[in-house]
Structure 1
């Protein structure tokens, strides 16, 4: 798919990603003067994340002012709140790598229509590598069509992952998964930028990738790129409901199926109630007068909020003991 044949919305996303990449590349030459804040233990944000995100949002909303925005650093503060179109943005995936000068990080931009990702861009500014996809039109690295690997045996598979690093993450649960998969495959890798990891599955560098604790902006773009390269993407039980489930599995069809058998017992059920509680906790505090006003229902005005049915799965030993 040549640049001229790209979808107009994808072209805007590419422009935004390259603009953010230029900001990141300039800042990478002066890491000593970088201002770093800690969002939570082991979770950092820099002025570069914020500047890159602002540039992306400005580019997108200039072209599509009626679209919604979901971004890592600013949440839903910008854009139209109830649009059917929503841009899902991670301005700098791999911030910890960036801070240390390790050149494994990227910009991730996806466009979802009614919660289904339609356009995706992941840009690696250190290598000038542009991964992109439009739903139904294939996935590409620069101008080269991507296909997942043809490997079918776990013993031959190279698998990417990410370690849990936030407070409250269940590290013991992860180590059990790690041990099971490590003994089945040819090797495990953890570079530290989930959006790039997913693109590496699409490119055939990895045969699969799995991680827990991820947010929509970490996986939205990469998941479409994997799917358009012929791979499968889902949660640990193999179902396609992964975007807000904080767990993701992607891989070649054969390897994916074998990993579902291993990872299904470790899945976590996330209900709509839990998602609503997380969303409420993320909202800024309101004054007492405002808090007494009746709350609007989720969704469009006059509509009842949609409920997500919990996924029923077998629980791990850790869960049973909790």
Structure 2
């Protein structure tokens, strides 16, 4: 077995201080190996994006981050800002949800790709442009020379996302973090982006962390899936196990809320209520107020541990048997 490409251990993130402090990530641990894909799913506010941002040192003060984030045996949380700048973009590539807010509207596509190549790989301006042209061809952008001289607003949404992937892969990182990268794209473009990531992963041996609210996308891409709710991991399993035998009521609710091709439903199942306020978390199971089971007297008063219920299958509930 390969060493983990990227691993977070007991990661906790607190935003703010005093009575307004919000515990947005609480003791999260997961790992992904080289050549593998980890899907991280959950509703908005579950802590999935915050976990990877914190692990890469991308949260500004007054965020307090504890635990560890290991990349190649180095704990990113113990590195200086300068050391992190040498790792982000070089060994750790990012693709974010909205390329229009991630790309600089004042810089050409060429400059946004070549900047990291020159900084991290020491390439000349001409060599960096050649590399940028090659990357645009790789991600499926036609007429790359013309697109290199374009600005982000002159490209379609799908093309902008491909540029973001080109930037993320430009220095051949060990780990690619993709945070909701296909949410705003049409189905056809989304499928093309997924195929592109799979192809580059196979060629480069990338470890991929794919953050999404879409279980269908994750189901076709990931090897293992982490389900987050209320800042915690509530379930973790191989993708086939998670889809075939979900153990946590929240996971079952997410799966029940998705449309299934070929299966007719008059109405999709909804999870009632809203996620908890991280500044006022419940005393027991974090899903208690929305849970349809509530099958154990401890549910409202004790926080369940993350326990193994099958091979590489873990869940945080007192009622895993209630299917």
Task: Give the TM interval when normalised to the shorter protein.
Answer: under 0.3
TM-score, normalization by structure 2: 0.27
Q: If you compute each CA radius of gyration, which structure gives the higher value, 1 or 2? A: 2
TM-score, normalization by structure 1: 0.27
